[in-house]
């Protein structure tokens, strides 16, 4: 998913607007975040709007997404801080779209 394509989704536009109200991120910072979100979307086989809709509709599905985030972050980096930072990007996307998540680890099962 290309950066311009991912920016077209309502949930991504909402995320960007909410975060930029507080932090005014540069285009370069957004490019990295959007790349991470695109990787997650590709992994779960859903677009950003579908992910948020499912997470808001079904808490179990939201928890499953968080488990996938955790698993993916371990594949992305063996460095625990880098993996945590990667997870934070996805958590931010969920939070700014109204899908409350917590930092505590989600059990694998």
37 is a domain residue? yes
Distance (Å, whole) CA 34 – CA 32: 5
Largest CA distance in the chain: 38
109 is a domain residue? no
The residue with greater pLDDT, 96 or 4, is: 96
Which ranges in 1-109 belong to alpha helices (H)? 3-7, 10-23, 27-44, 48-57, 59-76, 80-95
Distance (Å, whole) CA 15 – CA 23: 12
* Eight-state DSSP code of residue 101: -
Instruction: Provide the pLDDT for residue 102.
Output: 74
Report the number of distinct structural domains present in the chain: 1
pLDDT at 1 over 70: no
Residue 89: which H helix or E strand, with range? Answer: helix 80-95
89 is a domain residue? yes
31 is a domain residue? yes
Instruction: Provide the pLDDT for residue 4.
Output: 76
- Structural domain for 66, as ranges: 3-95
- Once rounded to an integer, what is the mean pLDDT over residues 63-91? 93
40 is a domain residue? yes
Tell me: the pLDDT tens digits for 24-71? Answer: 999 999 999 999 999 999 999 999 999 999 999 999 999 999 999 999
22 is a domain residue? yes
48 is a domain residue? yes
CA 91 to chain centre: 5
81 is a domain residue? yes
Instruction: With cut-offs at 50, 70 and 90, classify the pLDDT of residue 3.
Output: low
């Amino acid at each position: 998913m290309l950066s311009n394509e991912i920016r077209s989704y309502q949930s991504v536009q909402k995320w960007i607007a909410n975060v930029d109200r507080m932090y005014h991120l540069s285009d370069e910072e957004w490019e990295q975040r959007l790349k991470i979100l695109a990787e997650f979307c590709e992994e779960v086989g859903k677009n950003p709007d579908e992910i948020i809709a499912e997470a808001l509709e079904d808490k179990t599905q939201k928890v499953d997404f968080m488990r996938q985030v955790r698993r993916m972050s371990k594949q992305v980096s063996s460095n625990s801080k880098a993996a945590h930072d990667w997870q934070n990007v996805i958590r931010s996307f969920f939070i700014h779209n109204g899908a409350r998540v917590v930092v505590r680890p989600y059990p694998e099962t």
